[in-house]
Structure 1
Amino acid sequence: MDWQTLATQLFPEGHDIAEREHFLSGTGQVSGRTVAVIGTTDHAPIGIEIALAQAQAVLQTVQDHPGRPIVILVDTQGQRLRHRDEMLGINSYMAHLGKCVDFARRQGHTVLGLVYDQALSGGFITSGLIADACFALPQATIRVMGLPAMARITKVPEERLTELAKDNPVFAPGAENYLRMGGVHAIWEGDLARRLAAALAESDALDRRMALGRERGGRHMAQQVAEAVRTGSNVGPA
């Protein structure tokens, strides 16, 4: 789905979202309420320019419109793999974006992410995945690392990783697997405007991703390990 069609379905009451060099920004109307919208399109690689543009849009919303919800529309191939960006410290720019989103949340802004096309690697981690809740459309492609790259990094044969991916969502891409792990709260179908309005109404600051992953059978130990670290206790059997 292209971003114009998505925006029309999400904001039937109207929007002024504009695109500039793969960067989306503007506002939309949801149940008579204005929300800020930022995001990317055309499988945008997140270089220093887009990372800074998104961070600026978040901080501008915090400064000019206290408490206004922020919706992040995600379509990215991950961080841009260029020597220039690496030399300029793209990791710091991505971290800055993540800190700005977290700052907005701490200032009382509800932040929702929606993967409407593609979400890969660091471009997803510092946008939709760091939001209060992240959602996806059924056709969305989501992965942090492809199996060939994972095989190179872990030295585990790709054939073995492919076999593991059949039963373990941690190794497998796709919206359904991220739903099982709790990274995606829900997959939106049907009336997207109604889905968005409900998500805004129901959102809170509690991070339920580990609990959702355990309930859905995608991450059995994450919540136990985190709780053990917090309390200094031992991890029990899965």
Structure 2
Amino acid sequence: MQSREDGGDNWQAVAGQLFPQGHGIVRQGAVLSGSARLNGQPVAVVGTCGHAAIGVEVALAQARAVLDAMRDHPGRPIILLVDTQGQRLRRRDEMLGINRYMAHLGKCIDLARRRGHKVVALVYGQALSGGFVTSGLMANACYALPDAAIRVMALPAMSRITRVPLERLQQLATGHPVFAPGPENYLRMGGLAAIWEGSAMHIALTMALHDCPRLDFRAAQGAQRGGRKLAAAIIDAIVEGRHVQAP
């Protein structure tokens, strides 16, 4: 598998392991789309490759693929393959309103879920910032390979923006998964349902679709795993109109 430092594009190897019965996934630039067969049943596939930077064109192309799946194949499971370095940092994209394009992608995935499509995401490369939030984290459940590189932001960049000393952030990262990179920390926070280790990927995907949750249990899982201790309690309090006392 691709290491966290490897910039190579291994989507074809991943697709071959996920869909040993064959697939028709096509790459157009940094965007993946098409269909595949899993246990004899068709699934739609949408994703990115090559550590894609999500600009307006990439966001629109992914959204189009999700909308096409809803129109042409109602109820068909959708598999999201995630490999992104996050939002593309260009003036052109900012001036065009990249935040709205990315929000559009997230809304399309949410609509697919509401219309009965099981949406399962797999981080097989990188997953950073908004590119991850509006794709993998919008799925019913998100999984990752052990060597996936997942983080909100690199600590040096976080230090420059927040003006918190890097040494302090590194210290916080040792005990708080919110600050720390890696799939293990996102598993603790509930962002990932599981890390696929030591099992055939097509079997793991079959089980993920079978167990696909209809409700969002991530906050509760984060509390159970000790990664997000207050999110679930705050959500429940808002729903019930109660006040939450911070510890």
Query: Is the TM value for this pair above 0.5?
Result: yes
1:43 shift after superposition: 0.4
The residue correspondences of 1:159-198 to structure 2 (distance < 5 A) are: 159-189=167-197, 190-198=199-207
Read off the aligned partner of 1:52 and give its amino acid letter: L
Who is 1:71 aligned against?
Answer: 79
| Residue 25, structure 1, aligned to residue 30, structure 2 | no
The residue correspondences of 1:45-194 to structure 2 (distance < 5 A) are: 45-189=53-197, 190-194=199-203
Read off the aligned partner of 2:229 and give its amino acid letter: H
After superposing the two structures, state which structure 1 stretch, 49-58 or 226-235, moved more: 226-235
1:230 shift after superposition: 1.4
- Offset from partner CA, 1:183-209 (integer Å, 9 cap, x none): 011001220000000110111211010
- Offset from partner CA, 1:5-37 (integer Å, 9 cap, x none): 000100011111111101101111111111100
Shift in CA distance, 87/237, structure 1 to aligned 2, threshold 3 Å: closer
Alignment length (residue pairs): 238
Distance 2:30 2:55 in 1: 11
**Match for 1:217 among 214, 226, 229?**
226
Who is 1:199 aligned against?
Answer: 208
Read off the aligned partner of 1:16 and give its amino acid letter: G
Query: Which blocks of at least 5 consecutive residues in structure 1 are unaligned?
Result: none
| Residue 34, structure 1, aligned to residue 36, structure 2 | no
> What is the percent sequence identity of the aligned residues?
61
Who is 2:7 aligned against?
Answer: none
Read off the aligned partner of 1:137 and give its amino acid letter: L
1:236 shift after superposition: 4.7
1:232 shift after superposition: 1.4
Distance 1:144 1:59 in 2: 27
Distance 1:127 1:219 in 2: 21
Read off the aligned partner of 2:189 and give its amino acid letter: M
The secondary structure found in structure 2 opposite 1:81 is coil
Query: Which blocks of at least 5 consecutive residues in structure 2 are unaligned?
Result: 3-9
**Match for 2:239 among 207, 230, 238?**
230
Read off the aligned partner of 1:84 and give its amino acid letter: R
- Offset from partner CA, 1:80-128 (integer Å, 9 cap, x none): 1111111111111001001100011110001111000100111110000
| TM-score, normalization by structure 2 | 0.94
CA RMSD of aligned residues (A): 1.0
| TM-score, normalization by structure 1 | 0.97
Distance 1:154 1:187 in 2: 30
1:176 shift after superposition: 0.4
The secondary structure found in structure 2 opposite 1:179 is helix
After superposing the two structures, state which structure 1 stretch, 154-163 or 93-102, moved more: 154-163
Distance 1:51 1:237 in 2: 38
Shift in CA distance, 107/191, structure 1 to aligned 2, threshold 3 Å: same
Read off the aligned partner of 1:125 and give its amino acid letter: V
